[in-house]
Chain A
Amino acid sequence: MELKNVNIKGIPTAEFNDNEYLENYIKELEANGVNVVLGKIDEFINWGRSNSIWPLIYATSCCGIEFMATAAAHNDIARFGMEVTRNSPRQADLMIVAGTMVHKMAPLIKRVYDQMAEPKYVLAMGACAISGGPFVNSYHVVNGVDQIIPVDVYVPGCPPRPESLFYGLMQLQRKIKVEQFLGNKQR
């Protein structure tokens, strides 16, 4: 698969950043070749997967409110098939970490993440979840949620606007679309 074939809502590939990263990712995945039939089935499965991501909102502070604004009518996350927010980690595909992570919370987010079923993704929303943000020097703040769990997409901002969150979610959709659900021989 080539990157230009990864279609997101009719937005051309050139309008996205981080294309190089995704190209390398495709090269890595396709290093051993792709089965013609399974490759096509993969594309079909990934089309379905990427358009029905069910998020778990791990909201601890301000970013959670911006997520609510994203989910409500004005911005409408349902356009991306992501309106089914799950409160149980067992039903969720994506964990949106929206807010600061502190020492007391760290074991709990790890536990929730471990309860999610594969394949699972994590989006770090806002400066705090990425690096600790304005509280980076604090004694009780974890400097980035990636110290606890692996992160797929980082969305900067304090808090990020709904549009930035959508951009991050589309990047995640692109990532899911190039993955090989069945065809990857390394699995």
Chain B
Amino acid sequence: MENIKKLILNTVKDAVIEEKQKLTVTVDYTKLHLLAKTLRDNAELPFDTLVFLTGMDRGEELGVNYLLCSSKDLSKEIVLKTGTTDRENPLLYSVTDLFETANYNEREVFALFGIRFINNPDMRKFFLNGDWNGFPFRKDYDANPELNPLNLESKDIIDIAPRIMEIDGKLVESTVNIFEEDDYIINIGPQHPSTHGVMHFRTSLDGEIVKKIDVHSGYIHRGIEKLSETLTYPQILHFTDRLDYLSANINRHGLCMAVEKAAEIEVPERAQYIRTIMDELNRMDSHLLAWACQTNDLGATTAFIYGMREREIILDIFEKTCGGRLIINQNVVGGVMFDIYDDFQKDVKSFIIYMCDKLKEYDRFFSHNVIALGRMIGIGNLSKEDAINYAVTGPAGRGSGWSCDIRKHIPYALYDKVEFNEVIRTEGDSYARYLNRLDEIEQSLHIIEQLIDNIPEGDICAKTKAIIRLPEGEFYSRVEACRGEFGVFIESRGDKFPYRLKFRSPSMALVSAMPLICKNEKISDFIGIGGSMDYVIPDIDR
């Protein structure tokens, strides 16, 4: 990393480099684009993945934190910080031309903080309606409901995007039409059973070929990050379950890890075992549902019933352990809330045997079905470069040949002690993503097999203070959720509440790649591709 520091100082002389939890570089906003470009194009260790793009209200100034990491080694991380003191008309430079994934994130920052990004081609608000008064995530936001009353009248959608471009050193405000004049546009969503949630895809068609997709989001935006700023750390935990409810336990694990790392709480070994096993059960539960939904999207209703049948057994194990089915409230800061029950090992072992058998059955009756193959092979191609550029992680990213499993790159809990393969395929089509999920179920079974007999005796939760205060600083944690990398960023000012909390949603990257991979595919395949990407919308909208 010493070379990187030299490189940074050579590029931007007045950059401030700090050694915090991560290497943090603060630069002037005019230099940020140059620095990000240099780091991305660095041949030795390219920082070409944008993991976090976090809007910040630092009191005096409004700014953005970027967490970059290298696509070859995800543990090499660097934080860039920039900001502007102009609160009336804050302007920063966009990095959309370097990292495609920044596009939606910058639009999100505009909606929530009011920061506009120069050179971003589309500066509409992402989550909120265009006429929303105020910027909710600013500390001085006026939450008076009279400013934004409940409106029950449907409005027309205007497909004109404002933007602000720098042309020959001058800032020019202009507008751009999203669609061409005579495009035939259909709305898929927001309430549609096959969009896997309330996402709104405005799709322009040429015959039955998809020309362009414009994504509208925010139909389930609950402002979780803002709500968290008024709650203590143990109180925030339940929000993580309701982000990506299918990987509820893993998300919660991520937040617990961030708090534990910051407060220097050591988690007992027994709790680590329980956490890892529960995470893997959760992953299987999610992949089974994903498999069931994808097959259902392709027209196989029977397969849907089969997937749900196996999933129900995992839910029974969850229920016996902690009483919850979908959202299990198992992880707490310092360990887990409930110990495993007496027959836990027996139940899990019999499930492993049962599931191995069922995986063969799935393979036999769906994975080689001619109709299914015709609708998956070569459909929805995502290249490795695009996967990195859009930061598409999880089974979808690994289906494009990108090794992006956080469990391998930055091991947490017990993942460095168990043996498992990172499932990677290079085809990048729907079928690769489909097979990846089934193979990951197999790997999860293998992980649990190694742990289930060795659970040590001991405490299940470390003793924590009644009120958990985090020291001042910035804390990140990254875990491998079912759909990809889930991240937590906490900025603490020494209080029992976070000053700013940000969740990195894997599904947002998946959806941001949808317009790219659906282009020039048939409209009927759009649903199938969506099923193979397996995004969860409340995770995006937060």
Contact = CB atoms under 8 A, between A and B. Distances in A.
Interface string A119-146: 0000000000000001101111110000
A49 interface: no
A161 to B, nearest CB: 6
Nearest to A69: B308
Contact of A74 (B136, B190, B308): B308
Contacts of A66: 325-326
A180 interface: no
B327 interface: yes
Nearest to B539: A61
A170 interface: no
B304 A60 contact: no
Contact of B222 (A57, A68, A72, A140): A140
Contacts of B224: 135, 138
A65 B223 contact: no
Contacts of B129: 103-104
Contacts of A103: 129, 148, 150-151
Interface in A76-102: 85, 87, 99-100, 102
Contacts of A62: 242, 245, 326-327, 538
A106 interface: yes
Given A104-B128, A148-B150, 6 more contacts: A60-B538, A69-B326, A73-B309, A100-B220, A102-B219, A137-B230
Given A65-B326, A112-B191, A141-B223, A107 B242 contact: no
Interface string B372-395: 000000000000000000000000
A74 B309 contact: yes
A147 interface: yes
Contact of B245 (A65, A73, A85, A148): A65
13 contacts: A60-B191, A61-B245, A65-B289, A72-B305, A85-B193, A100-B220, A104-B129, A104-B221, A105-B198, A138-B226, A138-B227, A141-B223, A158-B327
A61 B241 CA distance: 11
B239 A134 contact: yes
A111 interface: yes
A178 B395 CA distance: 52
Interface string A141-183: 1100001100000000011010000000000000000000000
A27 interface: no
B148 A60 contact: no
Contacts of A100: 220, 222, 538
Interface in B314-328: 315, 325-327
**A-B pairs with lowest CB-CB distance, top 3:** A72-B308, A62-B245, A74-B312
Given A60-B220, A104-B218, A140-B128, A73 B152 contact: no
Interface residues of B, number: 47
A109 B230 CA distance: 30
Interface of B: 127-129, 136, 141, 143, 148, 150-155, 190-193, 197-198, 218-224, 226-227, 230, 238-239, 242, 245-246, 289, 304-305, 308-309, 311-312, 315, 325-327, 537-538
B191 A58 contact: yes
A110 B325 CA distance: 31
A87 B143 contact: no
Nearest to B190: A108
A61 B220 contact: yes
Nearest to B143: A139
Given A107-B154, A141-B222, A60 B143 contact: no
Nearest to A149: B152
Interface residues of A, number: 42
Residue picked from B148, B230, B245, most chain A C-beta under 10 Å: B245
Given A104-B221, A140-B221, A141-B222, A61 B151 contact: no
B227 A108 contact: no
A111 B222 CA distance: 21
A67 to B, nearest CB: 11
Residue picked from A134, A141, A158, most chain B C-beta under 10 Å: A134
Nearest to B192: A87
Given A105-B190, A108-B154, A69 B223 contact: no
A64 B221 CA distance: 16
Contacts of B304: 72
Contact of A138 (B150, B198, B218, B222): B222
Nearest to A158: B327
A139 B145 CA distance: 8
Contact of A107 (B153, B223, B226, B315): B153
Given A61-B197, A139-B136, A141-B223, A134 B151 contact: no
A68 B308 contact: yes
Contact of B136 (A85, A140, A159): A140
A135 B155 contact: no
Contacts of A65: 245-246, 289, 326
A139 B191 contact: no
Contacts of A64: 197
Contact of A60 (B128, B141, B193, B198): B198
Contact of A69 (B136, B218, B315, B538): B315
A158 to B, nearest CB: 7
Contacts of B312: 69, 72, 74
B219 A60 contact: yes
Residue picked from B150, B226, B315, most chain A C-beta under 10 Å: B150
Contacts of A68: 289, 308
Contact of A106 (B150, B221, B223, B537): B150
B308 A111 contact: no
Contacts of B222: 100, 102, 135, 138, 140-141
Nearest to B246: A65
Residue picked from B155, B190, B191, B305, most chain A C-beta under 10 Å: B191
A42 to B, nearest CB: 33
Contacts of B219: 60, 102, 104-105, 108
A73 B220 contact: no
Contact of B305 (A59, A73, A104, A141): A73
Contact of B220 (A69, A102, A106, A161): A102
Contacts of B223: 135, 138-141
Contacts of A148: 150, 152
A63 to B, nearest CB: 9
A23 B418 CA distance: 62
A30 to B, nearest CB: 35
Nearest to B219: A105
A139 B327 contact: no
A135 B227 CA distance: 8
